[in-house]
Structure 1
């Protein structure tokens, strides 16, 4: 905890703390040189200056880690059944994965605040290559136990990785650029899934069977391992300095006790965050139906590989559109939030309505799971392929819009690294809980029509619950006073030492 002097300063700061935009404006015209050291040494690309400990470069590093690890995981999962003919083993592994993920993610914000986002992200990347390796093993020995264990271990790792990633993506950028930063991350992250999808597509282009080759799994293992190692190159959050000279709001010397209390404080001081939980819960449930109930059930292997590629490619375009739209300076941030919500609500009925038109004509799960049906599954050369292909593309577009909006909403509610880490932990915990339920339903062989209807209904209902928060709580800026409730930082702590404004008793800020 801070010493007495720091605590006193903190009290003064709370009394007169300017808004984040005021601090940014005060340092805009007079930003002194950054601290000495290689990580602050600038270099230019075009007219823009970068330094290693800047939000842009650090977000790029995180995006590359996610490119290699969860990006490749998405490419593998998008094949339907993890590349296996029978999706049962993946259903069991995914149930174990998201069960552990849900528990770990609930506390992972506290872990990230305690040990730092760098260590959290590095450990979090380790589980992905083991998961891909378990499917390679399953090809030869059909060891269900190993695949389920690998899924559970990945749940532990992924809970940490995604919480650290969320805290970085939502807390590092300045307010005016959060949409673009989220967009850049989503583009690079989904490029991992796009390139990862090219691996099975290239290796199975002439394979109309049901199970991918060993070489496909080996390719995923190597890329995932590289991603885990890359996380070591990040810098700790307290070293990051933004373009306006400000630093990320963190908790000084957090203890495990203070962090677990912080989880409760996050809800106590911001009880409205509970209304976002249903939207968090629904944010991963559509993968079960889309990957197994649609792509895996009705298309042969090479066509599933193509659909998978197009699905993740569509996510990139969705992220570009939403990310840049959310940062249009001529429209107030609160109005941008309302517009984005209305668009998302409309797409929920337009795209899923098209999905209903497709799904009601499909065969039952029992028929699609028969070995003899594999030869009857749709191929990309079939005359009726174009419609379902575009439906799957729009499902990918919808996913990226949903995820990008959630991240932007959370980022618009706070600039605090500590608070966003806690909310990101809640987000991933409830997201994983939703995934557990739907992967388990798939494992119990519920009809695809049931999975489709439940997915659509939950997405629509969760938006209705979240609407008051989007419309009433997202303001045009987030004040430092609001964010500092969640830490013992002061205004002096969140502005770079060489660009420090003076907080006066009158409440004004002078450079």
Structure 2
């Protein structure tokens, strides 16, 4: 062995420090923490929305609130990455989580006064908070893991987060079990959601800034402690001319567009109240299965990261085509003018099975689609600053699409046309994502020198310091 080989061997051994995965400042622990925060806040929000109309018989208030929500979300989703880089995770996430509690509380007021104003204002404020929360979440989930484990960490986050939807689905199911003919959920259901959301806001204080997080291979997530407002404004404006972000737009626009149709016009229209809660337990449970499956596929199927990306997109595309095809067959059985009798999980027998399986499959596809897109975004860069902006841009465009979708339902567009729009939006995104992976995702995972530099910073740092 020559001197060069010996030096390289020593350098490689130094670049792989034995760091515990369960350190407080490890990516795994931090991703679990952000998963728990999202379990309590957007997880519970998803369960609330999944009942259709926010648990109300009249969907108008919830639809208008969601339009306000996703309009402000579109703006603050894009700005959220910059705000996260300036304020750091704790202040950003705490501010974001607090708005979820207010939104759930607004429906208690609506139960008693039937006034949309408070619900719509709370929805608009939640859009601001959600923009902050999801930009921070996206930065943590995509930048903290090493490049070869991003799919795994995305699936870990998605499983914990969607457990919130599972538990959240049990809340209305249990509290309204004896109200099979009830139209709107009771106050206790909303109070249960508020309690979980308040816990999530407190948990956000446990998230460390990226400058204090060291990956398992010793690399640091960032070398920049804080950014500044002028830098972030310039970088955010550049996103609109960034060809990588422009190729993300179709997938981002379509990735939340289908929620309105699935929640209001499938779960909300076909099933009674207690069954909608039970369906949501399985819808979000399916998301856990979907995220684990696609995460494993996109981390371990091939050595080449680019090939893993190609395979994941093709698998999701084929599955999506099959599921939306099943949705079309189901949709042809009813319309706005011809709504069938509400199905009940106990009383409807075999008639319940088909629509339930379809709704379950929608949850499976949602997790696989969004995990796939996050994996692609994570492959475009490795540093927290860049990925916080990319994730914010993705959530901003996603929310603009969702705002349009809620208004489409308010204006009584036919269910069949809504399904066709959703199917088309997701289908168009697959070849564009394949092009993005081909042009922008690299197989090179980084250098040992950078890893050892990160390890030295870890060794000398106080991991609990903000």
Compute the TM-score of the two structures, normalised by the length of structure 2: 0.91
Partner SS for 1:126: helix
Q: Which residue of 2 is the match for residue 379 of structure 1? A: 344
Counterpart-to-counterpart distance in 2, 1:116 and 1:264: 20
Q: Which residue of 2 is the match for residue 320 of structure 1? A: 292
1:347-398 deviations in whole A, cap 9, x for unaligned?
A: 2210000000000111x32454xxxx7xx21122313111111111100000
Counterpart-to-counterpart distance in 1, 2:355 and 2:86: 47
Change (3 A) 1:499 1:206: closer
Change (3 A) 1:207 1:197: same
Kindly indicate whether the alpha-carbon contact (under 8 Å) linking 1:365 and 1:448 is maintained by their aligned counterparts in 2: yes
Q: Which residue of 2 is the match for residue 228 of structure 1? A: 201
Kindly indicate whether the alpha-carbon contact (under 8 Å) linking 2:220 and 2:451 is maintained by their aligned counterparts in 1: no
1:301-357 deviations in whole A, cap 9, x for unaligned?
A: 111112111101100111111111211175321111001111111122100000000
Q: Which residue of 1 is the match for residue 392 of structure 2? A: 425
Q: Which of structures 1 and 2 has the bigger CA Rg?
A: 1
Q: Which residue of 2 is the match for residue 9 of structure 1? A: none
Deviates more, 1:115-124 or 1:63-72: 115-124
Q: CA deviation at 1:464?
A: 3.0
- From 159, 172, 176, the equivalent of 1:187 is 159
Kindly indicate whether the alpha-carbon contact (under 8 Å) linking 1:102 and 1:159 is maintained by their aligned counterparts in 2: yes
- From 213, 234, 242, the equivalent of 2:215 is 242
Counterpart-to-counterpart distance in 1, 2:430 and 2:96: 30
Counterpart-to-counterpart distance in 2, 1:148 and 1:248: 38
Kindly indicate whether the alpha-carbon contact (under 8 Å) linking 2:314 and 2:430 is maintained by their aligned counterparts in 1: no
Mapped pair 1:339 → 2:306: no
Kindly indicate whether the alpha-carbon contact (under 8 Å) linking 1:27 and 1:245 is maintained by their aligned counterparts in 2: no
Aligned pairs (5 A) from 1:4-83: 26=11, 28-29=13-14, 49-83=21-55
1:401-424 deviations in whole A, cap 9, x for unaligned?
A: 001101111111111111101100
Partner SS for 1:378: coil
Q: Which residue of 1 is the match for residue 171 of structure 2? A: 199
Counterpart-to-counterpart distance in 2, 1:300 and 1:90: 18
Mapped pair 1:436 → 2:403: yes
Q: CA deviation at 1:28?
A: 4.9
Partner SS for 1:51: coil
1:97-141 deviations in whole A, cap 9, x for unaligned?
A: 000000111111111111112221111101111111001111111
Q: CA deviation at 1:254?
A: 2.1
Change (3 A) 1:474 1:24: farther
Change (3 A) 1:25 1:178: farther
Mapped pair 1:147 → 2:119: yes
Change (3 A) 1:71 1:494: farther
Change (3 A) 1:253 1:302: closer
Counterpart-to-counterpart distance in 1, 2:105 and 2:285: 25
Kindly indicate whether the alpha-carbon contact (under 8 Å) linking 1:30 and 1:499 is maintained by their aligned counterparts in 2: no
Q: CA deviation at 1:29?
A: 4.4
Kindly indicate whether the alpha-carbon contact (under 8 Å) linking 1:300 and 1:378 is maintained by their aligned counterparts in 2: yes
Q: CA deviation at 1:249?
A: 2.3
Change (3 A) 1:366 1:25: farther
Which consecutive residues of structure 2, in runs of 5 or more, have no partner in the other structure? 1-7, 460-466
